[in-house]
Amino acid sequence: MEEAFVNTPLGIAKLEGDSLGLSSISVLNTKERITQIIPELLEDAVYQLNEYFEGKRTDFDLTLNPSGTDFQQKVWKGLLEIPFGKTVSYLQLSKSLGDVKAVRAVAAANGKNPLWIIVPCHRVIGSDGLLTGYAGGLLRKKWLLEHESPVKQQSLF
């Protein structure tokens, strides 16, 4: 398993993967040493992630290999269907996966997503339109949604 630590506007991100694909991207709340030489297997992921933060990329073209249960894998595939700049509720996501009663299980699987940003769990909000739990913290979720918003907030001052 190769790993790299890269700087992002939201903190240090840790990327992990091997020849089967990218298995994990997480944002850390600790200071880690930035990787000076990115492992070849992770170069494309780092490049695409940088493009995302620069506003040059709206979707990713990477081989993914996250570890999870069949149900979690199903939910994560569902997350990949949420378009850039759009949000859905946990209930809408549950319905799209074919089981409206699985909303809590869908939310739990969403929270276990190991591929920060690439599998856009930040695009899932509460049915009331409010931001709800996010493993990276609500401030990061808010930042990501604003970053992806087609309507940029203007400053009044």
Q: CB 60: neighbour CB atoms within 10 A? A: 19
What letter represents residue 117's amino acid? Answer: I
Exposure of 16 in the CB half-sphere (CA atoms within 13 A): 11
Q: How far apart are CA 97 and CA 109, in angstroms?
A: 12
Residue 121: active-site member: yes
Q: Measured between alpha carbons, how far is residue 45 from residues 52, 72, 75, 132 in Å?
A: 10, 22, 22, 27
Are 141 and 122 in contact by the 8 Å Cβ rule? The answer is yes
Distance CA 149, CA 86 (A): 8
Q: Give the Cα-Cα-Cα angle 44, 55, 34 (nearest 5 degrees).
A: 50
Joined together, the tokens standing for residue 14 give 């840790």
Catalytic residue (one of 117, 121, 124, 125): 121
On whether the CB atoms of residues 64 and 80 are closer than 8 A, the answer is no
- Would you please indicate which residues are annotated as catalytic (active-site) residues? 121
